[in-house]
Amino acid sequence: MILSMKERVDRIMNSKKIIYLSDMTIHEVQSVEHVGQHLLFVEVGGGLLFQDTDVMTLDEACDAERFINKIKKQYKI
């Protein structure tokens, strides 16, 4: 599923917090910075910037965990 730039911005701005996938830390969203045609960075507290493709919203993370739990139950993993 490919999101438009507006959908990518809305995805982040409609969430108060994000999870940085590399270390699974939770950060509060401050703003979104659009750089060039295809780059989008999320500014969080402490001046950190994360590329939007490297983070999940809390809702997305919850949905992903529910889906994995469903698969584990279905296949008795």
Q: What is the mean pLDDT of residues 67-71?
A: 97
What's phi and psi for 28, nearest 5 deg? Answer: -85, 130
Tokens coding 71: 């698969």
pLDDT score of 14 more than 90: yes
pLDDT in tens, 21-68: 999 999 999 999 999 999 999 999 998 999 999 999 999 999 999 999
pLDDT score of 18 more than 90: yes
* Dist. CA 54–CA 34, nearest whole Å: 15
What is the reported pLDDT for 65?
96
Q: In this structure, which amino acid lies at residue 24?
A: M
What is the reported pLDDT for 1?
81
- CA-atom Rg of the chain in angstroms: 14
The answer to whether 18 touches 30, Cβ cutoff 8 Å, is no
Domains in the chain: boundaries: 5-74
